[in-house]
Structure 1
Amino acid sequence: MDSNLHNFNGYLEVEKELSHNTIESYNRDLKQFSNYLKENGISDFTNVNKTLIITYLMSMQKSGKSVSTISRSIASLRSFYQFLLNEGIISKDPTINLQSPKQEKKLPSILTPKEVEILLEQPDLDCSKGIRDKAMLELLYASGIRVSELIALNVDDINLYMDYIISSKDTPNERVIPIGKMAVNFLSIYIEKHRMNLIKDLKEKSLFVNYHGKRLTRQGFWKIVRGYTKRAKINKNITPHTLRHSFAAHLLQNGADLKSVQEMLGHADISTTQVYTLVTKNKIKEVYKKAHPRA
């Protein structure tokens, strides 16, 4: 066993030029498999068939190993046995057509409409910074744009008369997104009465600026969201992307069609948008279990 592993390590290091950490990851997976073989009276990697590997993977699953851990182990075994096959050490690859377990789709974290309301109520409306923050949060939830798109907005990307913004202007992902009256209202207040208190240069084009009068950064916005999350005392992991997720999920829950939501989010593939339908289905199940007398 040890000689085959030694030669495999040399192959990974010299021919594949993999990093030390990646090679160590392969070794850990193969060492665990080697221990399993020894426990079952098998002393050589070459005396392995597909059934034995499947049994090993099932034992990993029963012991509580995650899908990602099992998938990584399969990848390690597949690479190792492909190496042995290419070296002529084995005549048949026991991992051929071995299926990796399906990764469970991780549902995005979303806020309830009430939680969104609480979060958006946190900025202090008696100062220019608070009005700026209120306008940013309202706009993010109203449009579903990415944080990178939010901070990239210029003043002339906003049309308050027609109630829309132009996101990612002059890029392949440019799109016109309607915004609601709450976002329009606070954007109007911010632009007309408070933005001038924050900018240092009248030629500044950025819509949202920091204390230095320059365009707000992603890190700066993250700190703002984190501060308001603590103040709101919402027991969820809220990131700047959470309002984008909530925007999409709430639209679908209230009857919006998937294609329209896809276009507003700027997703190239509709399958990316479909993950929000899973959130909606989960919500329906929760409502059913709470409301139906025989659920």
Structure 2
Amino acid sequence: MTRGKCKSQYRRRGGLYVKKLSNTPNLHIMGTLRIGERSETVKYSTRLHHMMPGAWEAAETMRVKKEKEILDRILYNRPPPRPMEDLVSDYLAQHDYCYQVKLIAKEIAKAFKGVLVGDLDRARIETHFRKRFREHERGGRYRHETVLHAMFALAQREGSLYQIPYWNRVKYKAPKSENAVKRFHPGEVELLIECADVHIRPIIAVMYATGARAWQTINLRRENVELERGRGRVFFLRTKNGHSYVRPLHDYAVDQICMWLLRRHDDYPQLFLTPSRRPYVQNAKGGGHFWHGFRSARDRCAAELHRRGYPERARRMAQATPHWLRHSFANNLRQIYGMDARGIADAGMWEDVQNVDRTYIVSAPEVVEEQVRRMPLGVPLGSKPSLEPEAPLVWHGSASLSCDRN
């Protein structure tokens, strides 16, 4: 036997062996594996050149792994190992997940492309998450780790994974904030825009007038808007549900965009720019520059509201996020103009009407509100309740209420 070769190059009874064929320089795994009354014949190339250092040892490792795979399939009826992209496809086929979960799943499939599910160990997983997330991005890493763990649980239920690998998962608890109605009062968004930096004002104005999301607004280009008072329009080519929309643009937003464009002296096709006069990064997560600018404007607006004598609204403004503009858009159409959920969904580019009715509209239906206001409350004892609403009580000067005990 040539020095450095393994003994498995010779024929083994009832098992597999590594052999170099005469017509090819690559090593092959061949043989028939017999288990009881069942047998399986194997012959395939390892794509390893026989003169490569360590080729015989690597082929021997592949032979052992192949025998183990056949044993698991015949004895325990376990499916063969599969790559991560197949597991991700099976995971997404289980339910109709939200957009964020689908995005995370596709990112995991891209990061571990070609890696078998059983080969993902602690070292590979932690290395990926350390490169993908920084120390302060605990919330994003927590969501990615939760999706990956759910994929491993699915593989374990299907029998293609013996045990879910362990890795140091981050502990994250979302900060609790006071519940608030996500609707701005008249004039508050205008004050917010006045307190914002110059490059942030037109973005907030477009979101305020159309109910669009932040990332699809900052990705607009100059050719996507028509800036003519009374006929302003905006074309949203990139949306969350994958559809394109053409929506009217209020004159207030048209004026804000025109004032912004008059300040610019560049040739960028993008409609909005960062503070350094560069285009925003084109992705589906928005831009950190915009979020920083919005927070600064929000803090200034909250301080101004407190100075003007509106402490309650100042506390609400301090909690506001860019997505509140979308909530406020839906609530204004419902409470001020009485638009139904179907119309609000069409105006705000929502595909699911039930999601609008469940998440964004916080006011009670008009019929319920009317009946509640006509309830016979405050009726004296013995009198017949009337279904007509009582006339409003008008106070003339100061008065005191007393209860006669006689």
1:109, distance to aligned residue in structure 2 (A): 2.7
1:241, distance to aligned residue in structure 2 (A): 0.9
State the one-letter code of the partner of 2:189.
Answer: V
Range moving further from structure 2, 145-154 or 241-250: 241-250
Alignment of 1:1-295 (within 5 A): 15=162, 17=164, 19=166, 109-123=182-196, 129-130=197-198, 132-161=199-228, 162-169=231-238, 172-191=242-261, 193-196=262-265, 199=266, 202=267, 204-216=268-280, 218-233=287-302, 234-236=314-316, 237-254=319-336, 255-275=338-358, 278-281=361-364, 294=378
CA distance in 2, matches of 1:294, 1:180: 45
CA distance in 1, matches of 2:300, 2:378: 40
Which residue number corresponds to residue 34 of structure 2? Answer: none
Q: Is the 8 A contact 1:110 1:242 kept in 2?
A: yes
Aligned in 2, Cα 1:177/1:211: closer, same or farther, shift over 3 Å?
same
CA distance in 1, matches of 2:378, 2:165: 57
The answer to which structure has the higher strand fraction is 2
State the one-letter code of the partner of 1:242.
Answer: W
Once the two structures are superposed, residues 14-59 of structure 1 have per-residue CA deviations (whole angstroms, 9 ceiling, x without a partner) of 635265679x9xxxxxxxxxxxxxxxxxxxxxxxxxxxxxxxxxxx
Aligned in 2, Cα 1:282/1:259: closer, same or farther, shift over 3 Å?
closer
Question: 1:113 aligns to what SS in structure 2?
Answer: coil
1:136, distance to aligned residue in structure 2 (A): 1.6
CA distance in 1, matches of 2:293, 2:378: 45
Q: Is the 8 A contact 1:206 1:214 kept in 2?
A: no
1:153, distance to aligned residue in structure 2 (A): 0.2
1:134, distance to aligned residue in structure 2 (A): 2.0
Once the two structures are superposed, residues 174-214 of structure 1 have per-residue CA deviations (whole angstroms, 9 ceiling, x without a partner) of 101112111111112222x1122xx4xx2x11100113332
Aligned in 2, Cα 1:278/1:167: closer, same or farther, shift over 3 Å?
closer
1:121, distance to aligned residue in structure 2 (A): 2.8
CA distance in 2, matches of 1:110, 1:205: 33
Q: Is the 8 A contact 1:135 1:190 kept in 2?
A: yes
Aligned in 2, Cα 1:252/1:195: closer, same or farther, shift over 3 Å?
farther
What is the count of residue pairs matched by the alignment? 187
TM-score by length of 2: 0.40
1:114, distance to aligned residue in structure 2 (A): 3.9
Structure 1 vs Structure 2 CA RMSD = 3.6
Q: Is the 8 A contact 1:135 1:183 kept in 2?
A: yes
Percent of residue pairs identical: 22
Q: Is the 8 A contact 1:159 1:165 kept in 2?
A: yes
State the one-letter code of the partner of 2:182.
Answer: S
Q: Which has the higher contact order (CA 8 A, sep 6+)?
A: 1
Once the two structures are superposed, residues 130-174 of structure 1 have per-residue CA deviations (whole angstroms, 9 ceiling, x without a partner) of 2x3222211110011100101110010001133110012599321
CA distance in 2, matches of 1:16, 1:267: 41
Give the unaligned 5+ runs of structure 2: 1-155, 172-178, 282-286, 303-313, 380-406
The answer to which structure has the higher helix fraction is 1
Once the two structures are superposed, residues 37-88 of structure 1 have per-residue CA deviations (whole angstroms, 9 ceiling, x without a partner) of xxxxxxxxxxxxxxxxxxxxxxxxxxxxxxxxxxxxxxxxxxxxxxxxxxxx
1:215, distance to aligned residue in structure 2 (A): 1.6
CA distance in 2, matches of 1:244, 1:112: 14
1:282, distance to aligned residue in structure 2 (A): 9.4
Once the two structures are superposed, residues 203-252 of structure 1 have per-residue CA deviations (whole angstroms, 9 ceiling, x without a partner) of x1110011333223521111111001110113121111111111111111
Question: 1:280 aligns to what SS in structure 2?
Answer: coil
Aligned in 2, Cα 1:277/1:232: closer, same or farther, shift over 3 Å?
closer
1:117, distance to aligned residue in structure 2 (A): 3.3
State which structure, 1 or 2, has the greater radius of gyration over its C-alpha atoms.
2
CA distance in 2, matches of 1:216, 1:144: 20
Q: Is the 8 A contact 1:157 1:169 kept in 2?
A: no
